[in-house]
Structure 1
């Protein structure tokens, strides 16, 4: 397994839902420390590594987010089953009968998200999507007292069980938490590629917390760094699966990195967008684009920080995001790293001032 794939495997298999990203934070710190002259941390758990190309150069922020979607225990029933709420967006069809890990003060417990057997479903029930509030987690407890003795209490967090693997002889990466450990890994990879390269700025590369519950960690990171240019590194939606034919966008896994043209929280800076796409064209890298009426990324908080920060979302078309198993292409990741490294080498003060019209 090559270095990029191994890093992705390691990061995706670490557990960390919104508000509980500590283990992922620690793993990112291990990756960033040897590549950085300084680590900056906020009080919520986000972190970035600093790498100076030129003193007093523009500050360029590259950030994924540490958290993955998951759940939280809200109640233990008298019979020892667990009720829960979602941390991040889930579609109930992706949840029933899946394995999860319940993270307790006494250690990890295996849980199964329970459902009725099809034999006892009423005809009307078969036609409905079951609501998350009606589901439960079975940890094998005898009753409420037994579940408590096992270490469970309300507020414990829950994460999907899914081992990282590859498909098509390593060309495709498969696992949980590609949203957004892929962005975390990309921040590390770009910083690694800049180690022996001259560039005219100060790069801050790392990851935020709590993106999946409203981009709550992005604001503190923006205040910590005060960037002049920011890139949110995140996954996007792939439209290359059956049932997506009616979508007007055509983002495909393996057809190149993705740039987001619009979402519910940000219209990207036109000059920065053009710089990235022009650089890709110069390098022969195909860039895919998407526009979403809903959703958002950490760029929401980056671009409105201070007096404004030109920002852009760069990522990868990914199948089955917000589920136990997502799929993305290693080549898209590699090309995104190549493209961002080249763009950063162009971002001197003259270029930044040109972008912002000064």
Structure 2
């Protein structure tokens, strides 16, 4: 588990919002290359490690996504305060007084804080209202626009949440800024690692797409290039096991991988869903079933690419998604890696054709 923790830490610590995934891609390349027969890259930045079938012609794509949610710089005012716009989905109420990192064009990292008014300066009525993102600003600790620019800050710079990777009281609970979806990136690496000394009867493409958080864009590009026969989008699922969420669903941390039957972008392929349940049962891997009506995954673009690709989204429950902090359970991670490893090991040309029907 130590190497898994290191893998998750390294991948969540690196910064990369949609369109700015270069650092994440570089790290993924380093992890994938020793485990792959070939590295496959598309023109937008998606990267996959291929493990070739010992026999058989069919292929499966296991796809996380490289990007995390964040912001970009849109304006620097005369006093050096920075205006920004979201890249990906944010709820205003989780943003004020949070630390962020601005990455300049030359790669310098500048810490900033999304400013907030102290309660002493707010009326009782104002305290009840949320602040629009357009009214927020980032303070990097300068006196003027000129000084901000001297530090390299410019329009279009990437802004990412800042949060340290840590274990919580029970060390199976991890917190970090970008489990959505560096979890999927780590899984793609670990599945290849699990299979490095195995013969498989399906061509495996395991890696990650770009620009998921802004409309599932990179998944379509990667799928058009790889042309898989089956696909699994590996992403996080909403955890409903906190006091304010438990009435909505049963998905919980520590109870196993989550098979997303339907979300706003995809109805999970019925044949593939049934097959995954069979594999999980055969290998005594507990799974959870859920629907995520308010969100989507790369499955939404993958399944309508080319002539259609039977696709299913599988992930882990995650608390506090799309914020500076999120919480993941290591048992769920381990079991999701094991589940997808066993799925890949069980596939061959005949089985793929059966699943399609």
TM range (shorter): over 0.9
Partner of 1:65: 65
Alignment: residue pair count: 356
Partner of 2:230: 229
Partner of 2:140: 139
Q: CA RMSD in A?
A: 1.1
Partner of 2:214: 213
Partner of 1:283: 283
Query: 1:224 offset after TM fit, Å?
Result: 1.1
Q: Is the 8 A contact 2:56 2:348 kept in 1?
A: no
Query: 1:105 offset after TM fit, Å?
Result: 2.7
Query: 1:197 offset after TM fit, Å?
Result: 1.8
Partner of 1:90: 90
Aligned 1:14-25 pairs, distance under 5 A: 14-25=14-25
Q: Is the 8 A contact 2:238 2:292 kept in 1?
A: no
Mean Cα deviation higher: 40-49 or 54-63: 54-63
C-alpha separation in 2, matches of 1:54 and 1:220: 27
Structure 1 runs of 4+ off > 6 angstroms? Answer: none
Q: Does residue 103 of structure 1 match 2:103?
A: yes
Aligned 1:1-358 pairs, distance under 5 A: 2-106=2-106, 107-247=108-248, 249-357=249-357
Query: 1:35 offset after TM fit, Å?
Result: 0.4
For normalisation by structure 1, the TM-score amounts to 0.97
Q: Is the 8 A contact 2:61 2:232 kept in 1?
A: yes
C-alpha separation in 2, matches of 1:341 and 1:285: 12
Question: 1:298-351 CA deviation, whole Å, 9 max, x = no partner?
Answer: 111111111111101011001001111111111111111111111112211111
1:334 match: secondary structure: helix
**Structure 1 portions without partners, runs of 5+:** none
Query: 1:78 offset after TM fit, Å?
Result: 1.3
For normalisation by structure 2, the TM-score amounts to 0.97
2:282 match: secondary structure: helix
C-alpha separation in 1, matches of 2:37 and 2:198: 15
Mean Cα deviation higher: 280-289 or 211-220: 280-289
C-alpha separation in 1, matches of 2:130 and 2:318: 24
C-alpha separation in 2, matches of 1:225 and 1:57: 13
C-alpha separation in 2, matches of 1:300 and 1:55: 30
C-alpha separation in 2, matches of 1:168 and 1:54: 45
1:83 match: secondary structure: strand
Query: 1:169 offset after TM fit, Å?
Result: 4.7
**Structure 2 portions without partners, runs of 5+:** none
C-alpha separation in 2, matches of 1:128 and 1:262: 34
Question: 1:254-277 CA deviation, whole Å, 9 max, x = no partner?
Answer: 010001010111101101001111
C-alpha separation in 2, matches of 1:194 and 1:157: 36
Mean Cα deviation higher: 126-135 or 29-38: 126-135
Query: 1:55 offset after TM fit, Å?
Result: 4.5
C-alpha separation in 2, matches of 1:7 and 1:298: 22
Mean Cα deviation higher: 179-188 or 280-289: 280-289
1:336 match: secondary structure: helix
C-alpha separation in 2, matches of 1:337 and 1:111: 36
Query: 1:172 offset after TM fit, Å?
Result: 1.4
Query: 1:56 offset after TM fit, Å?
Result: 4.2
1:203 match: secondary structure: strand
2:213 match: secondary structure: helix
Question: 1:172-195 CA deviation, whole Å, 9 max, x = no partner?
Answer: 121010000000000111111111
1:314 match: secondary structure: strand
Question: 1:204-263 CA deviation, whole Å, 9 max, x = no partner?
Answer: 00001110011111011001100001000000000000111320x200000100010101
Q: Is the 8 A contact 2:50 2:204 kept in 1?
A: yes
